Structure 1
Amino acid sequence: MTLWGDVEYTSVRELRGPLAVLEGVEGVGYDEFARITLETGEQRHGLVLEVDRDLAVVQVLEDTTGMDPRGTRVAFTGGPLRIPVGPAWLGRVCNGRGEPVDGGPPVFGRASAPVGGNPLNPVRREPPSEPVLTGVGVVDALTTLVRGQKLPVFSAAGLPHLELAAQIAAQATAGGEPFSVVFAGMGLTHPDASFVRDALEERSATGDLVLLLNTADDPVIERILTPRLALTVAEDLAFTGGRHVLVVMTDMTSYAEALREVSAARGEVPARRAYPGYLYSDLASLYERCGRLRGRTGSVTVLPVLTMPAGDITHPVPDLTGYITEGQIVLSRETHALGVYPPVDALSSLSRLMRKGAGPGRTRADHLDVAAQLLAALARARQVRELADLVGRPALSPADRRHLVFEEAFLRGFVNQPSDASRSLEQTLEDAWQALLTLPRGQLSMLPAALLDEHGAREAPEDQDEVSDLPGEEGTPP
């Protein structure tokens, strides 16, 4: 139980947005937790953002609406905000402050931990080496998620990133080892929050899910707190409970906008696009809390989802996220317009740790070779499409036409899958082979001859002079 200080301050000098400025304080430190009592007896809570001599700036978690500076009392705890941790979080649905919204009792734990987390000693870090299988074929095959990795999803308004995040949270596994998911939603609309609860209901019922939902009408400060609560819970489940934990955080752009709003209220000098100059270090303080520890069986894997305003990948949030994380999964408007789900742009997506978690002994022996050939063939298909726009499709060679057939098979037969269906890695790689076998054997130069023989690759899958199975006019995809 938290022990509150004996001293209560009544010298609230100013209320500014979500901030309260106190004067005459002594012995108060940065990030210290505070209890705020209103004149009506209502209890609120806050965190110290800044201390300057006898002044303290406190961000109020429940906002300052309805507070009267003359009747407000503030007591400081002498330490940072702490929450109970332990397996009692599993199966619970809470708001962004960790308060239950599922009708159950408050969450209690065997111990408490600071929500700011503790830095992991780099010497004790183990390199990621085993996969987290998401059940989404294109992700598992081409941008394999590895335990302990941070791999963001870059999206744009109107694309089904929330559906993809919920699908991954519902389906992800760690090969039969103890596995849990912590889902942190930030700035969600009420329909989106309801969708997430419904999509993850089955996983929650099995006791493998922690759901923290911050909605758009909740206080902005709560949005800053939500991912920190999620990571604190995940760290305990992983490094104390021995579980492999996937933390899905959406939408990090909403989080950054909340950070910008608080920064403006504090009167800080803005940086790029009015975001605070410490946006990079703040995002890093979240993303870098993933990993594996030497001597511990668990791991924390982070999958942040963010929307790029106007689809601009140079926007500060995706730009800085790309510097910190180990790759990205990029969603494409063009692929979405074709009716393909998930609309992943395979050539723009990358998992820098994929070779650590895929291949012989981890997924399948031919996994990395198949992934490399898929990307090479897709890149060639894109070039052929651009060439066809210049010279016309009738002028294309039979091999070039066959690449257009491959592109359609790649999108429709390999990438596309229902949003409520989990695809095994075996099925995914077999679908990949079916797409690749639409190409002549001579075009599959990145695959060993033994593999081509095993899967029956032929020099001419069919008469290349009459490529008739391309959809649309003269082989144009719809």
Structure 2
Amino acid sequence: MKKEYLRLDKVQGPLIIVSEVENVGYDEIVEIRLSDGSRRQGRVVQMEQDKAIIQVFEATQGISVINASVSFTGRPFELALSKEILGREFNGVGAPRDGGIPIYSKNRRNVNGRPLNPVARKYPRNFIQTGVSSIDCLTTLIRGQKLPIFSGSGMAHNELAAQIVRQAKISADEADNFCIIFAAMGIKHDDASFFRQSFKEAGVLQKVVMFTNLADDPIVERVITPRCALTAAEYLAFDEGMHVLVILTDMTSYCEALRELSSLREEVPSRKGYPGYLYSDLASLYERAGMLNDGSGSITQIPILTMPNDDITHPIPDLTGYITEGQIVLSRGLQQKNIYPPVNILPSLSRLMKDGIGEGYTREDHADVSNQIFSSYSRVQDIQALAQVIGEEELSETDKIFMEFGRAFENRFLNQHYDENRDIDETLDLAWDILSILPRNELDRISQEALDKYYRS
């Protein structure tokens, strides 16, 4: 028999506390009924003997200790799923935001996901083309990988995220089986409108599922948003056999919501006030990417986070870097030069790209070109530092050529228009055009066969 508790102990921010509860479990969904007949939902986030602490998904405004009753459902938060979610927009807890009808389905999945057996995972191999040269050539995205973008406040990460959604594609024989899940946490209304309009104008809305938590939505909803998005991704990938690219922005907003809820629960804080379980909480999201040996689908993740004060040692980017397989770092200096996308290639890397590029995947010269660009651009940084001391006129002829290479690399290769979609062959050909500025004997990371075939003498 379902029991209803008619009196609350306390209402504190997004939390309500109920005492003398029986047979209640952690993460259980709670139904809250107000005296005016309206209903809200919450979930149990902490148990202390017979006391339950409940997070309310909607705001607690209007709830008092005497005008609300709660009942426990005995089940976790679940999401109704079918292929009809493609082309739809939902809020952070999976309710329609586009004016359409709710999803009705027998398939209901726990948003906390199902753990993947490490033995059942397939090693990521295939390349996902984003149409962005700096990513495709130098920090290649591999299907099944988790590759975050480290940005800063006010930088062009929203534009880059929208461009990746519009342009991302996989090999032509599987292109019809590819979709994107876009989850936004704590974004402003105009940013949400920008993403919506961008996807619509590009004609990709039918292959995109949007989960949007706005800045004025409850922070509890913000904590659920990435879990709803990844649950939808797992259904499409492992039940429907689709290849899913999940973009999560902004993970900093998610972590700050987690910190606020932890503070309200009076938990002992760790670095910079974030909860001590921040690492395991982020891992529970990022590790939901991957492929299965006995499945045809895949989940690839691009989490986007804004580094507070552009500090890459801040707990959020620091812990994210430990969990994920590389990072794409955006540079404020490049953005100030009006270079888009402002990808700083030297601290950026993709740990899995070596196994997903080359002959049969991209092109046989890809690895050599990538290594040579990293080496040459790194030397450019040293020469620029020297030029600031002695002046560019005093540089050797070879150093001046490297300076010319650096300018061409930033202005022609890194810099591309927001609507410019370069395929991998176009990107590699452009890389050769720029590398050919350098003398042939300076290209020491490229094989003689590749130099004979592609070097522009």
* TM-score interval (norm. to shorter): over 0.9
Distance 1:393 1:69, change over 3 A: same
> How large is the RMSD of aligned CA atoms in angstroms?
1.2
Once the two structures are TM-superposed, the CA of residue 453 in structure 1 deviates from its matched residue by: 2.0
Counterpart mapping for 1:65-464 below 5 A:
65-176=61-172, 177=174, 178-202=177-201, 207-458=206-457
The residue aligned with 1:471 is none
Q: CA deviation at 1:456?
A: 4.0
1:346 alignment partner, SS class: strand
Structure 1 position 171, deviation (Å):
1.2
What's 2:7 paired with? 11
Q: Which amino acid aligns with 1:51?
A: M
Query: Quick check: 1:39–1:68 contact (8 Å CA) kept in 2?
Result: no
Q: TM-score, normalised by structure 1?
A: 0.93
Answer whether contact 1:153 1:330 (CA < 8 A) is retained.
Answer: yes
SS of 1:159's partner is: coil
Displacement of 1:205 after TM fit?
5.3
- Amino acid of the structure 2 residue aligned with 1:455: Y
CA distance 1:457–1:449, shift in 2 (3 Å)? farther
Task: Kindly state the Cα deviation for residue 204 of structure 1 after the two structures are TM-superposed.
Answer: 6.7
Distance 2:278 2:65 in 1: 31
1:56 matched to 2:52? The reply is yes
C-alpha separation in 1, matches of 2:197 and 2:92: 18
Are the aligned partners of 2:432 and 2:456 in contact in 1 as well (CA < 8 Å)?
A: no
Secondary structure, aligned partner of 1:323: helix
After TM superposition, give the deviation of residue 328 of structure 1 in Å. 0.3
Aligned length: 454
Q: Where in structure 1 are there 5+ consecutive unaligned residues?
A: 459-478
> Structure 2 CA distance, aligned partners of 1:453 and 1:106?
60
Does the Cα contact within 8 Å between 1:91 and 1:204 map onto a contact in 2? no
Q: 2: CA distance between counterparts of 1:358 and 1:233?
A: 29
Q: Which runs of 5+ in 2 are unaligned?
A: none
Map 1:460-475 onto structure 2 (within 5 A). Answer: none
Distance 1:170 1:20 in 2: 42
- What is the TM-score normalised by the length of structure 2? 0.97
Shift of the alpha carbon at 1:207?
2.0
| Cα separation, 1, equivalents of 2:109 and 2:143 | 23
Residue 92 of structure 1: how far off its partner (Å): 0.1
Contact 2:78 2:111 in 1 (8 A): yes
Q: Percent identity?
A: 49
Contact 2:124–2:145 under 8 Å retained in 1: yes
**CA shift for structure 1 position 8:** 1.3
Please say if residues 199 and 205 of structure 2, whose CA atoms lie closer than 8 Å, have aligned partners that are also in contact: no
Q: Partners in 2 of 1:347 and 1:405 — Cα distance? A: 18
Q: Could you list the per-position Cα deviations for residues 269-296 of structure 1 after superposition, in whole angstroms to 9, with x for gaps in the alignment?
A: 1111111111111000000011001110
Distance 1:262 1:299 in 2: 32
Name the residue aligned to 1:32. Answer: 28
Distance in 1, Cα, partners of 2:91 & 2:253: 16
Letter in 1 for 2:36: T
The DSSP-based 3-state class of the residue aligned with 1:379 is helix
Say which is worse superposed, 381-390 or 279-288, in terms of deviation: 381-390
What SS class does the counterpart of residue 201 from structure 1 fall into? helix
SS class of match (2:252): helix
2:181–2:233 contact (8 Å) kept in structure 1: yes
